[in-house]
Chains A and B, each alone.
Chain A
Amino acid sequence: MNRIVAKEFLSENVAKLIVEAPRISQKQNPGQFVIVRIDEKGERIPLTIADADPEKGTITLIIQRIGTSSHKIINLNPGDALRDVSGPLGRPTHIDKVGTVLACGGGVGIAPLYPIARAYKKAGNRLIAVLGARNRELLILEKEMAAFADETVVMTDDGSYGKKGVITVGIEEVLQREPVHLAVAIGPAVMMKFVALLTKRYNVPTIASLNTIMVDGTGMCGACRVSVAGRTRFVCVDGPEFDAHEIDYDEMIKRLNMYKTEEKTSYDAYLRSLS
C-alpha cells in the first residue's frame, strides 16, 4: 500500500499526486516510470515519475482523467492509498551535455518531460522548452518549466494563451533560428510523430518517450511492443525512450486503441457506479 500525501489539480482533468514510495524515490532517475494498481480489481498501468523527494520518500505522479483507472486515481484523496506501486521501471534517460536541447511537451506529456528537461539543464545544456496544449486551461507545469529553462515557448491550439498554433509551429521557429543539438518529444503519439517528421528535416537527433499499454512492466508480456527501425522492441525494458525518427507511430497508435471498446464499457460501468 502506498499512501497519498497530497493532491492538487493542475487543470480540470489533470491531477498531481504525491505518493509515499520510499525505495522508488531513492532509486528513480528521469525518464523512468512506475506500474500502479489502484485496488484489488484494478489493472496495472504505467505512470511516469514526474518528480521525487528521496528525503521525504515520495514520488510525484501526474494523471489525466481518461478512463476507469485514471478516474479512480484522480478520485483518491490524501490519506487514501494505491494498492500497489512498483518501480522504478524502464531505462533512465541518458543525460549528457550536448549543447542546446529542445524539450517538446504536449498536453499531459509535459509531466514526464519536466524531470528530463531539468536534468539536461543541470548537465549544462541550453534548454528551450516548447509546450503545447489545446487551450490555456489544459496547460500544465509552465511555471515549473520556466523556472529553469533558458526560454519557454507556449503554443495553444485556440490561441487562448501563448502563441496560436500546434506545437510544431513553435518548434520550427526555434529550429530556423538557432542550432539545436537534441530534441526530446513527449506527448500524444500523433504529436510525437509530427515532431519527429519535423526534426528529421532539420537533422536534429530526437528522442521520444512512449507510454504504451503494459501489464507487468518488466518485459514479461510484450503488450507494450513497438517497431523501432523495423525491429520489435519492448517499451518497458528497452525503452521508454527511443530514437524518435525510427518509431512506427502508426502501428503504435493502432495498438494504443486495442481496447477502445472495452475501455468504454468499463468506463460507462464505472461512471454508473458513481452516480
Chain B
Amino acid sequence: MPVDPKELNADRNQEWRNQLRSKLSAKERSGLPRVKMLENPPLERILSFMEVNTGLSEEMAVRESRRCLDCSAPTCISGCPVNINIPGFIKLIEKGDFLAAARKLKETNALPAVCGRVCPQEIQCEANCVYQKMKKPPVAIGYLERFASDCERLTGNTSIPAIEKKKSLRVAAIGSGPASLTFAGQMAKFGYQVTVFEALHELGGVLSYGIPEFRLPKSIVRSEIGYLEAIGVAFERNAVIGKTLSIEDMKKQGYQGFFVGSGAGLPKFMHIPGENSLGIYSSNEYLTRVNLMKAYQFPDYDTPIVHGKQVAVIGGGNTAMDSVRTAVRLGAERAMIVYRRSEQEMPARIEEVHHAKEEGVEFLTLTNPIEYFADSDGRVKQMKVQKMGLGAADDSGRKRPVPIPGSEYMIDVDTVVVGVGTDPNPLIPQSIKGLEVTKWGTIVVNEETMQTALPEIFAGGDIVRGGATVILAMGDGKKAAESLHAYLQSVLPGR
C-alpha cells in the first residue's frame, strides 16, 4: 500500500499550505520545545479507572503542530502501518481547522482516536521523524492524532467519508478487533456490504476486553464503531464462527469474501507447579473481568474479581503493564512486575512503564517464578522465584535469560496475573478446511496481500502475527481489504 507521492505533493503544494510553511523558518520551528502530555496525577488516578492522559489543549496542539517542518519528502509516513498523511493532518491543525485534520486522518485510518492513544509512536512514525536525525525530540504525532480525532468526536462533528458506488457483493469480517474494524471500514468505503461477526457480546475485540479504561476509554471504542455503522458496516454479536456459523453457512448466506481477524486469544501459562491455584489468572481473564465485565463495579455488576493486596504480574509487555496498573486500581498494596529479562528488553511501551512506576509499581526484573504455593483452600499465598542473568542474544535479538542456580527466594502474594503472551485461538483455523496453519497455530498468508491458501479468505492481525500491536493489526486489515477488493473485482468484476 505505497503512498502516492504525487498526491502527497499536490496536498503539500496547496496555496494555504505554502503560506503556512513560510510563516516560520525551519530554524524557528525546530527551536520550539516538544509539548508535554497532560496527565492526571498518579495519586489521584489510581483511585479510579479515569483516563491517565487528558490530551492537549487547542493552544498546545497548535504550538506542537508548528514544530512539524512539513518536509517535502516526509519520512514519518514510512513508519506508519496505515500510511497516514501525517504532515497533511498536522498542518491542518496548525491552520486551526481541527475538523479537517480529523477528516484527513479518517482518509487512511478508521480508528484515529484509538491509535492516538495506544500506538507505539516512539517506534513507528515518531521514530522516523526528521528531528531524530537532528537529535531533537520528534514531533508529538500521536498526541496530535489524538487531539484532532477527539475534537471531532467531542464536538459531535463526525464526518462521513466519500463511499464508492454500492456494490452487491457481501463480505464478512470474523472478529471485531482493530484488524477487522479497519478491514470493514475500508471495504465499506469501497462500497461492499460488510458484516462483522463477533463471538463476545461486546464489539471491539482487544480494544474492549483487553486495554483498560484508563488507557482507552470504552466510550471511544463505541464511538469509533458508531462511525463504522454510519458508513454502513453491520455487526453481529454472539456469533462464534466455527460454532454458531461455519464459513459454509456464511457462503450460503451470500458472503463471497472473508477476513479472519480473530486475534491471539489463547492465553499462555508457564506450566509450573501450583499455577492452577486460586488467585492465579491469565492476563486475558484478569483484564476481561475488569474491562469487559466491569468487575471493578462488583457487586453492582455481577462479575467478581479478586482484589489482591500483594499482586505479582508475570511478564514485561503492554498487557502485563495494563494488568499491574489494574491491580493498583483494585487496591493492591504491593503491585509487582516480575520479568525474566532486564528493563531494557521489556516489550512494553516506555510510557506504560513510566506510568506504572509513577503509580508505585515495583519492577522485579531478571526474576522468574518457578513455583506457587497455596493455602489449604487452594489460594495462592507465596511464589518461589529465581534470579536470572543475561546470556547471548536469542532469535528475537534480545539477550537470553539464564537462571542463576541457588538464587531462589520466596515472595508473599495473594494474586498472580500471568501475562507471558498468547497463542492463536485454534477455533477458527480448525474449522476452515484447507487453511494453511503454522506449527504455532497462526494462519499462513501471502505477506503482500494477506491472502490465505484459500483465495476468498484473507487474514491479519494476531491470528497471523501471533502477538503484535493494534496498529500492525490495522495495517493488515487495510492491506487485506485492498487485496480482497482487487481479488473480487478480478473474479466478479463490477459487482
Contact = CB atoms under 8 A, between A and B. Distances in A.
Nearest to B210: A220
Contacts of B288: 215-216, 220-221
Contacts of B209: 216, 220
B34 interface: no
A164 interface: no
Given A86-B201, A255-B278, A265 B284 contact: no
Contacts of B243: 27, 87-89, 218
Interface-centre pick from B275, B279, B288 (highest chain A CB count, 10 A):
B288
29 contacts: A23-B245, A24-B244, A27-B244, A42-B302, A43-B301, A84-B237, A84-B238, A86-B238, A86-B239, A87-B240, A88-B243, A88-B244, A89-B243, A218-B240, A218-B427, A219-B265, A220-B209, A220-B267, A220-B288, A220-B425, A221-B267, A221-B288, A232-B269, A232-B271, A232-B276, A255-B378, A259-B304, A262-B299, A266-B298
Given A83-B201, A237-B427, A221 B284 contact: yes
Interface in A222-268: 222-223, 225-227, 232, 237, 251, 254-255, 257-259, 262-263, 265-266
Interface in B291-306: 293-294, 298-304, 306
A177 interface: no
B427 A219 contact: yes
A232 B418 CA distance: 14
Max chain B Cβ within 10 angstroms of own Cβ: one of A44, A69, A218, A265:
A218
Contacts of B298: 262, 266
Which interface residue of B293, B306, B426 has the most chain A CB atoms within 10 A? B293
B199 interface: yes
Contacts of A44: 201, 293, 303
Contacts of A201: none
A265 B282 CA distance: 24
A269 B299 contact: yes
A89 B200 CA distance: 12
B294 A41 contact: yes
Interface of B: 199-201, 209, 237-240, 243-245, 265-267, 269, 271, 275-276, 278-279, 281-282, 284-285, 288-289, 293-294, 298-304, 306, 377-378, 425-427
Contacts of B237: 84
Nearest to A40: B301
Interface of A: 23-24, 27, 37-38, 41-44, 68-69, 83-89, 215-216, 218-223, 225-227, 232, 237, 251, 254-255, 257-259, 262-263, 265-266, 269
B266 A219 contact: yes
Contacts of B304: 43, 259, 262-263, 266
A235 B428 CA distance: 18
A43 B425 contact: no
Contacts of B244: 23-24, 27, 86-88
Contacts of B238: 84-86
Contact of A218 (B278, B299, B302, B425): B425
B462 to A, nearest CB: 12
Q: Tell me the interface secondary structure of chain A in the complex.
A: mixed
A44 B282 CA distance: 17
Contacts of A38: 302
Contacts of A258: 278-279, 306
Most buried by B among A220, A254, A257: A220
Given A23-B245, A255-B378, A222 B267 contact: yes
**9 A-B pairs closest in CB distance:** A254-B378, A262-B304, A221-B285, A86-B238, A84-B201, A43-B302, A220-B265, A43-B303, A222-B282
A42 B297 CA distance: 12
Nearest to B418: A222
B245 A215 contact: no
Nearest to B263: A220
A273 to B, nearest CB: 10
Contacts of A232: 269, 271, 275-276
